[in-house]
Amino acid sequence: MTRPSTPSDTIRLTGITATGYHGVFDFEKREGQIFTVDAELSLDFRAAGRSDSLGDTVSYVGVAELIEAAITGDPFDLIEALADHLARDILRTDERLISAEITVHKPQAPLTQSFGDVAVVARRTRADLESTVGAEWLVDTEPMLNPQQTPSQEVHAVLALGSNLGDSAATLESAVAALSESEAVCVVAQSPLALTAPVGGPEGQPDFLNQVIQVATRLSPHGLLELTQQVEQAHHRARGAQNGEIRWGPRTLDIDIITYAGFQVSTPLLQIPHPRAAQRGFVLVPWSWMDPQATLEGHLVADLAAVAADAAHVRRADAANVPDAAEVRGRRPRS
């Protein structure tokens, strides 16, 4: 007798809508526009059908949160890249998922013609998580890690800091000291300060001071995130539009986790390695100053820095001679 095949059941989310800043044009990254995402997830939920237990299926709440975070998060030039990123990240959240089909709609795309919608569709399976087709850097060689898992021994993480309000040099120095004061964190290396023009956001804001540091820690990834956000808050960072924060606008302090011991983390709260670090000269350049042999996803950081679009605008800054915010206010941001 022929045995029945494993069913491919479906969870479908449609019309998840938020404002994002994706696009190849400067005004798209500056002003933002509406994006809508549909997701169709294939899995076997016979066990959930019998048990009526959430633990036997994939929570669509978590998937919706991840989609919204991707729409409103770091910008991609192409909606194809956003769709690919989302499909892969959703598959990584639960091994029970067989495939993910993501449709990204861009109804306000900058076309001169009359049109109803522009959309792209990415279909990915678990096999695609190991695929090297089309782009070598998409290989997922880093093991996944439970973001709440405390390491059994000290691990190293790389953090990127930035500030462009107030005395930014003093703020970065204070932030590094605050991280060092935690019993679970030891700062083991620091880059020189870098003076960089802001990317995106409102015109006329001050240049940033950026710095990259390496820490040794016994905190879990989410524990380290909580600590960095506490340090941001202590330096008067107000997160979120509801607290008056302007996207890519001026801020007293920003701390991003770039890498964590070679592990990969993918949750609505945290993406490690940082999904846009490989294109950010204001991260890559000072990181390469700190550690010329550092690597990111199998590539030498110094090589990534050499081809980053904004790398030519990143320069070393002597903390004793950093211009006041008032002196650099009004400089046009680089594209």
Task: Kindly name the residue from 22, 105, 106, 237 that is annotated as catalytic.
Answer: 106
Question: What ranges in the chain are assigned the alpha helix state H?
Answer: 26-31, 46-51, 60-72, 79-93, 168-181, 221-234, 281-290, 301-307, 325-328
As to burial, measured by CB atoms within 10 angstroms (0-12 exposed, 13-18 middle, 19+ buried), residue 48 is middle
The helix (H) or strand (E) run that includes residue 120 is strand 119-125
**Separation of first and last alpha carbons in the chain:** 65
Half-sphere exposure of 262 (CA within 13 A, CB side): 9
Residue 207 CB partners (closer than 8 Å, separation 6+): 164, 195, 196, 197, 198, 323, 328, 331
Q: Catalytic residue at 106?
A: yes
For the CA atoms of 322, 335, 107, 82, what is the dihedral angle to 10 degrees?
A: -80
CA distance 281 to 259: 16
Residue 13 to residues 17, 40, 72, 137, 334, Cα–Cα distance (Å): 11, 6, 17, 29, 38
Q: List, as one string, the DSSP characters of 256-323.
A: EEEEETT-BEESSS-EES-TTGGG-HHHHHHHHHH-TT-EETTEEHHHHHHH-TTGGG-EE--GGGPP
Nearest of 88, 95, 96 to residue 129 by alpha carbon: 88
The 10 Å Cβ neighbour count of residue 195 is 20
Tokens matching residue 285: 């350049």
CA distance 106 to 22: 9
The set of catalytic residues is: 106
